[in-house]
């Protein structure tokens, strides 16, 4: 997370935005922008990146009307801008709809290339009615009254009359495909315009009727009635030329540090407080901070999380003091709604004065990735909750009188609510919610809680093994590996089996307070 993500590079046909380039790019632009706010730690975003690149390539020539961009909300320098734009889940798609830097959230039927492309067309069509963006040609259909007088007239360019069914997108896509080409204008007409069909003798749709510069006119024969065929035929007419895009000048410089964080040596058989602190840093200052107001269920989930961490976070120290103060403050407030900025102020300023601060930066150790964008926050969140399950088992009375002890599996219940309400990766929370809903009633004790979370984490590991979010240096294996815990593994009739007693014993040790290393911690 510390450096620029490699999910997208400057070689991709899109613009990589950052905190300093987002606003200037939008406000100085004569085109609209479709921006994907993503997070480089979100597995779904990693998978989706290939689709987004195909889309960007597919609509590259539309850039004078609408550009495609990305912004990585997991980069520290982008935290504030993602909060300003209220990005709560990844990926979030927004389209700039005016030069006043405002955005509309957009969603299509799905996020596949065709749906996103149609969404772009719809947005452009709606906004060109208000004569914006400046360089977008009209996507509205022309009428026979407007088109028929052009027949027989000489001109300095071709006019292609694209006749199609009203719900077809091909004509509008071809208009945009030809945006960067001079010498030809594409105008769209509808199959319902009977005088036009009569005059041009058009009987099938879509069809292109071509008006030549010398005043002659005829059907344009296309082998297949596909967007690609029509666009290529028009681009290769004699005298038609591609010009360079004017939008390129507005493209902001790629943002973010290009170099990675220095490597921190660590021992895989230990847990690092720097990772736990970074999890809380990210959670409090980034993930929660995108919710401007806490009320109702959100406020309850936040209070429960703070209570849980304040009671179970191991080792005392300034993190526990901070969480205790935060917890007391939250419980003492009779408010139904709390602006998140008040929480941030407390975390950032008042507590610092009292010497109870949380690290100022993310510092991954056991959770560092072999390259930026891998591991980091989700790794640290798993680690934090594993630690909390083990602490709950070690201190059975720690949650007394907190209201949380009434649950059979309080750590899992709080984790479940947190993941469902705040975790940025929606795919992850959907999967996790399904798993908890199906299995939590089986968990009746603190040790079953430890084992349930271990087992669920291994299921996720199995699902993600070999996926794009799998760090080659830290492959997703069934954990703990034999090198960490040989006695955890057995074989029965030639088939691998876990020794659950030894697994529990291992987890109790691995995630215990005594196995926490303060190395690299602040
Ligand atoms: P992680 O899986 O994050 O593990 C972190 C560390 O925990 C490991 O390095 C290891 O030391 C230890 N560990 C590993 N396995 C276990 C275990 N079984 N028990 C105890 N400790 C273990 N990503 C997706 O793409 N799709 C999803 O559906 C998804 N769901 C998620 C649900 C939750 C609740 C969370 C917190 C994350 C989810 N993620 C999902 C992210 C994904 O699980 C990883 O966290 C992320 O890919 C980073 O992987 P990692 O290699 O750092 O190891």
pLDDT bucket at 124, cuts 50 / 70 / 90: confident
Q: How confident is the model at residue 100 (pLDDT cuts 50, 70, 90)?
A: low
Report the nearest atom of ligand 1 relative to the CA of 271.
11
User: How sure is the predictor about 484, in pLDDT bands with cuts at 50, 70 and 90?
Assistant: very high
The ipTM value here is: 0.99
CA of 450 to the centre of ligand 1 (A): 15
Q: From ligand 1's centre to the CA of 382, what distance in Å?
A: 6
Strand ranges for 54-141 from DSSP E: 66-72, 92-96, 103-105
Q: Is position 45 annotated as part of the catalytic site?
A: yes
Residue 458 Cβ < 6 Å to ligand 1: yes
Share of the chain above pLDDT 90, in %: 60
Ligand 1 in contact with 429 (CB < 6 A)?
Answer: no
Say what angle helices 500-510 and 377-394 make with each other, to 10 degrees.
Answer: 100
Q: pLDDT digit string (tens) for 246-284?
A: 554 333 333 333 346 789 999 999 999 999 999 999 999
**Residue 19 CA, ligand 1 centroid: distance in Å:** 28
Mean pLDDT of 346-360: 75
Ligand 1 center from residue 418 Cα (angstroms): 16
Residue 346's pLDDT band (cuts 50, 70, 90): confident
Assess whether the C-beta atom of 433 lies below 6 angstroms from ligand 1: no
The three-state secondary structure class of 399 is coil
Report whether pLDDT(195) > 60. yes
- Tell me the angle at which helices 43-58 and 426-439 cross, rounded to the nearest 10 degrees: 140
The pLDDT value recorded for residue 161 is 97
Burial 46-70 (b: 16+ CB within 10 A, else e): bebbeebbebbebbebbbbbbbbbb
Lowest mean pLDDT among 45-49, 120-124, 497-501: 120-124
Residue 125, pLDDT > 90, answer: no
Q: Are 436 and 414 contacting, i.e. CB atoms less than 8 angstroms apart?
A: no
> What local confidence, expressed as pLDDT, does residue 193 receive?
96
Q: Determine the residue of 283, 379, 452 to mutate for testing ligand 1's pocket, defined as the one with the most ligand atoms within 8 A of the Cβ atom.
A: 379
Beta strand 15-17 with 181-182 is unpaired
Query: Which ligand 1 atom sits nearest the alpha carbon of residue 457?
Result: 18
Decide if pLDDT at 132 tops 80. Answer: no
The pTM score is: 0.76
Known active-site residue 379: no
Confidence band of 317 (pLDDT split at 50, 70, 90): confident
Give the pLDDT confidence of 355-378 residue by residue, as tens digits.
Answer: 777 777 889 999 999 887 789 999
User: Which residue's CA is the nearest one to ligand 1's atom 14?
Assistant: 479
The answer, yes or no, to whether any atom of ligand 1 lies below 6 A from the CB of 375, is yes
Mean pLDDT of the chain: 88
Given a cut of 60, is residue 380 above it in pLDDT? yes
């Amino acid at each position: 997370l510390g450096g620029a993500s490699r999910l997208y590079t400057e070689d991709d046909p899109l613009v990589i935005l950052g905190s300093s380039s987002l606003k200037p790019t939008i406000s100085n632009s004569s085109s609209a922008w479709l921006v994907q706010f993503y997070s480089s730690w979100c597995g779904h975003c990693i998978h989706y990146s290939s689709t987004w690149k195909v889309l960007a390539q597919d609509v590259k020539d539309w850039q004078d009307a609408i550009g495609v961009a990305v912004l990585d909300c997991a980069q520290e320098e982008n935290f504030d801008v993602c909060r300003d734009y209220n990005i709560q889940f990844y990926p979030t798609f927004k389209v700039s709809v005016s030069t006043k830097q405002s955005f509309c959230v957009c969603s299509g039927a799905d996020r596949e290339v065709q749906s996103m492309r149609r969404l772009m067309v719809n947005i452009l069509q709606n906004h060109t009615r208000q004569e914006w963006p400046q360089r977008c040609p009209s996507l509205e259909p022309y009428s026979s009254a407007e088109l028929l007088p052009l027949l027989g007239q000489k001109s300095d360019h071709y006019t292609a009359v694209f006749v199609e069914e009203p719900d077809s997108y091909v004509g509008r896509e071809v208009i945009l495909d030809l945006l960067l080409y001079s010498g030809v204008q594409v105008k769209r007409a509808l199959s319902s315009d009977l005088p036009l069909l009569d005059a041009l003798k058009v009987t099938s749709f879509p069809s292109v009727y071509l008006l030549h510069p010398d005043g002659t006119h005829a059907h344009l024969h296309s082998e297949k009635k596909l967007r690609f065929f029509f666009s290529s035929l028009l681009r290769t007419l004699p005298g038609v030329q591609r010009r360079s895009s004017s939008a390129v000048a507005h493209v902001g410089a790629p943002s973010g540090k290009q170099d990675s964080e220095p490597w921190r040596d660590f021992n895989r058989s230990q847990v690092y407080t720097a990772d736990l602190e970074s999890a809380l840093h990210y959670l409090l200052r980034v993930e929660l901070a995108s919710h401007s107001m806490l009320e109702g269920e959100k406020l309850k989930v936040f209070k429960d999380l703070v209570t849980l961490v304040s009671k179970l976070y191991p080792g005392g120290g300034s993190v526990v003091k901070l969480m205790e103060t935060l917890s007391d403050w939250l419980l003492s407030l009779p408010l139904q709604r709390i602006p998140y900025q008040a929480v941030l102020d407390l975390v950032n300023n008042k507590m610092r004065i009292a010497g109870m601060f949380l690290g100022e930066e993310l510092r991954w150790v056991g959770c560092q990735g072999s390259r930026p964008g891998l591991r980091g926050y989700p790794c640290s969140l798993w680690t934090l909750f594993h630690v909390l399950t083990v602490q709950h088992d070690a201190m059975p009375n720690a949650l007394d009188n907190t209201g949380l002890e009434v649950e059979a599996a309080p750590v899992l219940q709080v984790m479940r609510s947190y993941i469902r309400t705040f975790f940025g990766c929606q795919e992850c929370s959907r999967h996790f919610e399904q798993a908890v809903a199906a299995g939590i009633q089986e968990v009746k004790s603190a040790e079953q809680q430890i084992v349930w979370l271990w087992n669920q984490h291994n299921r996720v590991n199995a699902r993600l093994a070999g996926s794009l979010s799998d760090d080659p240096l830290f492959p997703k294996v069934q954990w703990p590996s034999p090198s960490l815990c040989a006695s955890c593994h057995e074989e029965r009739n030639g088939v691998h089996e876990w020794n659950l007693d030894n697994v529990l014993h291992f987890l109790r040790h691995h995630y215990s307070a005594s196995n926490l290393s303060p190395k690299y911690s602040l």
